[in-house]
Amino acid sequence: MNKKSFLFTDIAGIKMKNPVMVASGTFGYGEEYKELIDLDKLGAIVTKTITLKPRAGNPPPRIVETAAGMLNAVGLQNVGLDVFLKEKLPGLKKITSTPVIVSVGGESILEYVKITEALNKTGTIAGIELNISCPNIRFQKKNTKLKGGIIFSQDEKITYKLVSRVRKATKLPLIVKLSPNVTDITLIARAAEKAGADVLSLINTPLGMAVDVTTRKPALANITGGLSGPAIKPIALRMVWEVTNTVKIPVIAMGGIMNTTDALEFFMVKAAAVAVGVGNFINPQTPLEIVEGIADYLKRHRIKRLKDLSLLKGR
């Protein structure tokens, strides 16, 4: 059996040699990892979220370790659209043939649309991921008292409106990344699907906090931050399961995937692909080891395609 052909995955026209990607914000602009792993062996690379203008990011400390995970409040530091298009994207395309998916962020719907229009013209990217779930960018909704505003994907109507507008602006495969900081993620998932999203990806980080008892201060300068790592895997798995049972479009799953077994769990709840996040920090070989691991598992269990890897009935 040719490993290459049976792990090949086509998600809404994004053609990947395997279904293992790397998650936005954990893989820089790709080139940071080039000395440590063979980028060509990844399914796809999702770049750090870019915004229209460069963003300075939050003051330090920005990260702290927690039980089986870490909190981050990077604050979407990024080089901005111009430098991304001039330097980072061509630089990455030069060193790998792996599909590049560009993560897009913004403070208004218009900002998302503008970036999308600029990305249409590159001709080198495989798709766009709308990061409407970053806990560090807030949208001030009218008539709410919530301090600091809400995350776009915490509101069905805003999600629908934003995704529809971007959908009209591009023919590129459109991935919408959802936040777990909601009561019912299926409502948001449906809104994104109805608005024309080709793919959903989840989860972004649930909000958390840590206190340094020595200094009696919050561990992060930003006070709160997004939690990632094994600590969030059960939440991610539950949400992916809920969403794949609700929408028809494919789902890219992420949240605490550190090894093959973690990845398999997500495939068994019908994820179409998985993405490794902080796993890259602990062991940069993680995504490639998972590719090997999945291939072995399928062979051992005589399963032809990943699609056939669903949960069995009964208890």
Question: Annotated active-site positions, please?
Answer: 134
- Residue from 11, 14, 21, 23 touching ligand FMN (CB under 6 A): that is 23
Q: Find out whether 197 and 163 touch, Cβ atoms under 8 Å.
A: yes
- Residue from 99, 127, 226, 229 touching another protein (CB under 8 A): that is 229
* Residue 297 contact partner, candidates another protein, ligand FMN, none, CB within 5 to 8 A by sort of partner: none
* Residue 225 contact partner, candidates ligand FMN, another protein, none, CB within 5 to 8 A by sort of partner: none
- Ramachandran sector of residue 28 (left: φ over 0; alpha: ψ -120 to 50; beta: rest): left
User: Applying CB under 8 A, does 35 fall inside the site for another protein?
Assistant: yes
Q: Find out whether 58 and 221 touch, Cβ atoms under 8 Å.
A: yes
- Residue from 17, 88, 167, 177 touching ligand FMN (CB under 6 A): that is 177
Nearest to 137 by CA among 94, 167, 181: 181
Q: Which residue is nearest to ligand FMN (CB)?
A: 25
Shortest reach from residue 47's CB to another protein, in Å: 11
> Helix (H, G, I), strand (E, B), or coil: what is residue 100?
strand
Q: Find out whether 69 and 227 touch, Cβ atoms under 8 Å.
A: yes
User: Applying CB under 8 A, does 234 fall inside the site for another protein?
Assistant: no
- Whole-angstrom CA distances from 113 to 84, 135, 198, 300 are 16, 20, 16, 46
Q: Find out whether 151 and 185 touch, Cβ atoms under 8 Å.
A: no
Single out the segment in contact with ligand FMN by CB under 6 A; choices: 18-26, 151-159, 167-175, 266-274: 18-26
Q: Find out whether 44 and 21 touch, Cβ atoms under 8 Å.
A: yes
Shortest reach from residue 264's CB to another protein, in Å: 19
Shortest reach from residue 237's CB to another protein, in Å: 17
DSSP state of 61: P
Bond prior to 203 in cis (omega within 30° of 0): yes
User: By C-beta, is 173 or 229 nearer to ligand FMN?
Assistant: 229
What's the token pair of residue 19?
A: 């279904």
Single out the segment in contact with another protein by CB under 8 A; choices: 30-38, 103-111, 141-149, 296-304: 30-38
What is the rounded CA–CA span in Å between residue 147 and residue 292? 46
Binding stretches for another protein (CB under 8 A): 25-28, 32-33, 35-36, 48, 54, 56-70, 72, 74, 77, 229-230, 278, 280-285
Binding stretches for ligand FMN (CB under 6 A): 23-26, 48-49, 72, 74, 76, 103, 131, 134, 177, 204-205, 228-229, 232, 254-257, 276-279
